[in-house]
Structure 1
Amino acid sequence: AAGKSVLTKCIAGIYQPDHAQFLWEGHPAHIRSARDASRLGIETVYQDLALADNLDIVQNMFLGRERTSRGLLDEDSMERAAGETLASLRVTTVKSIRQPVASLSGGQRQSVAVAKAVMWNSKLVIMDEPTAALGVVQTKMVLDLIRRLRDRGLAVMVISHNLNDVFEVADRIAVMYLGRLVVQGDAATFDRQSVVEYMTTGAAGRPGGPRAKES
């Protein structure tokens, strides 16, 4: 295993690293829980999406962070915020924000999970294998969503084995091999073959950096 998902869960506060230091906005950060990560503006969309099929879109987006007014759930406020967030991301394929998540397609579920992540003033959204098991149309929907997050000024960290998706949206590429970071750099300095070699052997091209993409 390369260790990508473990690293993701450490950044998200799910796992505690044995030895590590996180720097966030140039300063050491102590992330001991998912709540700590959220306070910093770090939200994670996991591969299994962590959505409750029996709940509707609004309930999923506010699960564990429900808004209340005078001791009662503030349904109007939550509906309004959920709708505005989905609209701002141009998620227009869902029929109703009150439909059960179980009725959504894979791409729609991914869109809801991303909207849930960006609703809390996030600065970094981590997406673990966001297009796994999706069809061509649904994959395009998710990649377009990633671009919209970037255009909003959010940092997006995509964990993926799908190099087509990586080269479609990445500004920078980092490759891990056996739990170690072996190379990182601007996406334009890599080609697919060099990335595959780094992923499978930990080395590629000339020593000291990524192999330049052929013109």
Structure 2
Amino acid sequence: MTDTAVVPVLALRGISKRFGAVQALTGIELEVAAGQVLALVGDNGAGKSTLVKAIAGVNQPDEGVIEWRGRPVVIHRPQDAQQLGIATVYQDLALCDNLDVVGNLFLGRELRRLGVLDEVEMEKRSRELLDTLAIRIPSVRIPIASLSGGQRQTVAIARSLIGAPSVVVLDEPTAALGVEQTAQVLDLVERLRERGLGVVLISHNMADVMAVADRIAVLRLGRNNGLFDRRRTSQEQIISAITGATDNAVTRRQARDQEGTS
């Protein structure tokens, strides 16, 4: 008797994307499982941002298939991704400094009662959500502008959960944060995993990746260049894949082609 294969929540099959003469992605394969953190790493220009935008519905792939729970889907726009259950938190956070925490958490998803904003219910749900995630801030009515960088990041991540997603994509969530603030964000990433969410973590910080990732996918020159089990992989092996010291054959051929046309 054979074990039944686990169907990933989100899967990318042969995803390619071109911008004019630039081939940004070629044949990308990626799977995101429930209750796991998949780190997506690569040097600048490796294709990480393009891949994230394809998942989030900002840019549509030219080739390939996106699967959601085993069935092909088409993500034409960000709303399509959100309706499926994919939430993306970009590096710029897109928080409104003049609004308080409650206002930011429910921005675009405001609760109304008899045509009027239900401030009491939104505040209640905000407290419950932050308590569940063990996010500590002075008050849910404090303006976002008054919070630290780490607190702002955790609020942005918490906001992504309002729509009850199954997959959360975090784009450089610890960039420009101090040690203590980074620890707050990484703790939250682990709590997302404990809640059974699939987490895609895009990061340049290898210490952060090695601290929380279950699997690590390396992109190089717009192609897959390795998928690693973090528990069986050293940081040096990941860096070698990122820099090209352990290129796969396809990536080496692409690099030679690029050199020949330069």
Does the alignment pair 1:72 with 2:116? yes
1:170 to 213, 218, 237: 213
Change (3 A) 1:198 1:103: same
Rounded Cα–Cα distance in structure 2 between residues aligned with 1:112 and 1:167 = 24
The structure showing larger relative contact order (alpha-carbon pairs under 8 Å, at least 6 residues apart) is 2
What CA RMSD, in Å, does the superposition of the two structures yield over aligned residues? 1.6
Matches within 5 A, 1:146-161: 146-161=189-204
Matches within 5 A, 1:8-19: 8-19=52-63
Rounded Cα–Cα distance in structure 1 between residues aligned with 2:101 and 2:63 = 39
Match of 1:53, SS state, is: coil
Q: TM-score, normalised by structure 1?
A: 0.91
Matches within 5 A, 1:172-211: 172-201=215-244, 203-204=245-246
Shift of 1:185: 2.8
The equivalent residue for 2:103 is 59
Shift of 1:72: 1.1
Higher strand content, 1 or 2: 2
Q: Is the 8 A contact 2:106 2:162 kept in 1?
A: no
Shift of 1:159: 0.2
Q: TM-score, normalised by structure 2?
A: 0.75
Q: Is the 8 A contact 1:10 1:17 kept in 2?
A: yes
Rounded Cα–Cα distance in structure 1 between residues aligned with 2:97 and 2:48 = 27
Change (3 A) 1:27 1:206: closer
Give the aligned residue type for 2:113.
S
Greater C-alpha Rg: 2
Rounded Cα–Cα distance in structure 2 between residues aligned with 1:55 and 1:90 = 22
Q: Is the 8 A contact 1:194 1:205 kept in 2?
A: no
Shift of 1:204: 1.6
Percent identity over the alignment is 52
Rounded Cα–Cα distance in structure 1 between residues aligned with 2:169 and 2:56 = 8
Does the alignment pair 1:39 with 2:83? yes
Match of 1:20, SS state, is: strand
* Equivalenced residues, count: 206
Runs (4+) of structure 1 exceeding 3 A deviation are none
Residues 71-80 or 138-147, more deviating: 71-80
Rounded Cα–Cα distance in structure 2 between residues aligned with 1:90 and 1:48 = 23
Residues 184-193 or 96-105, more deviating: 184-193
Structure 2: 5+ residue runs without aligned partners? 1-44, 250-262
Does the alignment pair 1:24 with 2:68? yes
Change (3 A) 1:42 1:206: closer
